[in-house]
Structure 1
Amino acid sequence: MLKSIGLRNKIALVILLISFVFLFPGVYLSMLTINTQGSVNSVVGHLGVEFFNTSNSILKTVYDLFKQEYYFVSIMILLFSIIVPVVKGILLIYVILIKDKKIANRLLNFIKAIAKWSMCDVFVVATFLAFLSTGSRSSGNTHEASILGIPIDINILVNMNAQLETGFYCFLTYCLLSLCALQLYEELPLEEKFSQ
């Protein structure tokens, strides 16, 4: 079966199969960790507080949104960031391996149509923008308070830290490889399609 496939399509098939290896960890593993801590320092003492600490994967985000009754958003993320890419990849494998080139052509047109609705790249960009917008920041203010009429300087420091996790890099790799596979796929000219 693989003997009848051209070299470009064999390479596209291998790249596509490798992309699936990265898709599943990209969906299950954490993409972004955001941690926000604060501290209050004065001559009286020091108080440290963790305000916010979260690390979510795509599936956990879908689950959390669904649990918080954001049904539409969670279903859209599930559909366009997971289901559509998987269907697109499986259909492309079928297109590469199928002998009936007329059906392959129809499926390829369908793949190109649903590829426009795949939001993998949008999800990656949104995660990266969230990382860039939060990054690592510290901001502090000094305020004066008085205890029993004695003025005391209080230093309030808020530290926000964002870190891209393994899931982000796996999902990004999946996006790039699946795009390469689709671009590498070489459709046979119409004359050749029906002569085989």
Structure 2
Amino acid sequence: MIPLLSLMVIIMGYFGLQAYSQAKKYEQSTQKLVMEKDVSKQAEYQAKAWVEKLSLGYYANEKRVLREEVISAQELHRSEAKRYTLYVMGMLAMIFMGSLMAGLRFFTFFGALSALVVLYFGLFAPLLTVTIHKELEYIGDVVLSFESKSLLGSVVKLWESGDIAIALAILLFSVLIPLTKTLSLMFVSVVMESRFAHGIVKFFKVIGKWSMLDVFVVATLLVYMTGNGSDVSHAEVQVGLYFFLAYVIVSMLVSLSADKMLERVK
């Protein structure tokens, strides 16, 4: 059972890496499209579009062709990122079912290991993209700003903008504590007969309710708020949010499993 579960975790990690890669490619293609829609380039695009219309098709607007290619690549990367994210969630469910059949100890260890994998991608994968644009007369839709943020990226931005206390709070409760908790639960499943195991689980049961959903919601709202306020016209959730949400759910289940496992040892 251990080799099979280990293989499933590796496959899940591979799918997660592919989802992360596609999400970054989507981010890059979006940035490329944004660069083509600043004021000067958008004005040039509209001028060439009018020339193309007046020439009755004899003149081809190369910028239109370029944009269509970028938009096509953008949609492909977005759909691929979502597809691989679904694969990750499917493998996660299979790991849970397989380890649960093997016993609480296996469930706790491999559940915590799986949580560590999705936490990693939840921290580094893009969490949210924010686009600020404005419709200008005769020029059309102009993009004023574009930002794509991961959870760690939002912490860095808050730190650089001077919101050090908030950045440290998010870093502590959404990064450091979840990471320490997950590693500790793996350790507990290995040495569950030790007298230290009960103390570790009890400690994280006390602080766990302060380090998960509520702070996660606050972190997400802060990402929205750091997109330059009221001018934000479009915000799109990315795969990093799904990975972090999966971690929150898995971590809760593994904590309950570890607690029940230690009760049986007693």
Regarding TM over 0.5, the answer is: yes
CA–CA distance in structure 2, aligned partners of residues 47 and 187 of structure 1: 62
Q: Which runs of 5+ in 1 are unaligned?
A: 134-157
Q: Which residue of 2 aligns with 1:57?
A: 150
Q: Report the CA distance shift for 1:105/1:63 in structure 2 as closer, same or farther (over 3 A).
A: same
1:124-143 superposed matches below 5 A: 124-126=216-218
Deviations 1:54-78 (A, max 9, x none): 1111111111111112111111110
Q: Which residue of 2 aligns with 1:66?
A: 159
Displacement, 1:100? 3.7
SS at match of 1:109: helix
Q: Report the CA distance shift for 1:58/1:34 in structure 2 as closer, same or farther (over 3 A).
A: same
User: Which of 6, 15, 35 is the aligned partner of 2:111?
Assistant: 15
Task: Return the letter of the residue paired with 1:88.
Answer: K
Deviations 1:3-50 (A, max 9, x none): xxx812211221111111111111011101111211123xxx234432
| Identical positions, percent | 24
Displacement, 1:127? 6.2
What TM-score do the two structures reach when normalised by structure 2? 0.53
Contact 2:104 2:261 survives alignment (8 Å): no
Task: Return the letter of the residue paired with 1:79.
Answer: L
Match status 1:84 vs 2:192: no
Deviations 1:114-173 (A, max 9, x none): 21331x32344346668999xxxxxxxxxxxxxxxxxxxxxxxx8822211111111111
User: Which of 239, 242, 251 is the aligned partner of 1:169?
Assistant: 242
CA–CA distance in structure 1, aligned partners of residues 155 and 223 of structure 2: 19
Which structure has the larger Rg over C-alpha atoms?
1
SS at match of 1:69: coil
Contact 2:128 2:150 survives alignment (8 Å): yes
Higher relative contact order (CA 8 A, sep 6+): 1
Task: Return the letter of the residue paired with 1:26.
Answer: G
CA–CA distance in structure 2, aligned partners of residues 128 and 61 of structure 1: 9
1:1-196 superposed matches below 5 A: 7-41=103-137, 45-118=138-211, 120-126=212-218, 160-185=233-258, 186-189=260-263, 192-193=265-266
What TM-score do the two structures reach when normalised by structure 1? 0.71
Choose between structure 1 and 2: higher helix proportion.
2
Q: Report the CA distance shift for 1:171/1:86 in structure 2 as closer, same or farther (over 3 A).
A: same
Q: Which runs of 5+ in 2 are unaligned?
A: 3-101, 226-230
CA–CA distance in structure 2, aligned partners of residues 167 and 159 of structure 1: 20
CA–CA distance in structure 2, aligned partners of residues 21 and 179 of structure 1: 15
Choose between structure 1 and 2: higher strand proportion.
1
SS at match of 1:117: coil
Question: Which deviates more, 8-17 or 21-30?
Answer: 8-17
Question: Which deviates more, 79-88 or 8-17?
Answer: 8-17
Contact 1:92 1:111 survives alignment (8 Å): no
CA–CA distance in structure 1, aligned partners of residues 207 and 169 of structure 2: 14
CA–CA distance in structure 1, aligned partners of residues 251 and 182 of structure 2: 7
Tell me the number of residue pairs that the alignment of Structure 1 and Structure 2 aligns. Answer: 160
Task: Return the letter of the residue paired with 1:18.
Answer: S
Contact 1:32 1:127 survives alignment (8 Å): no
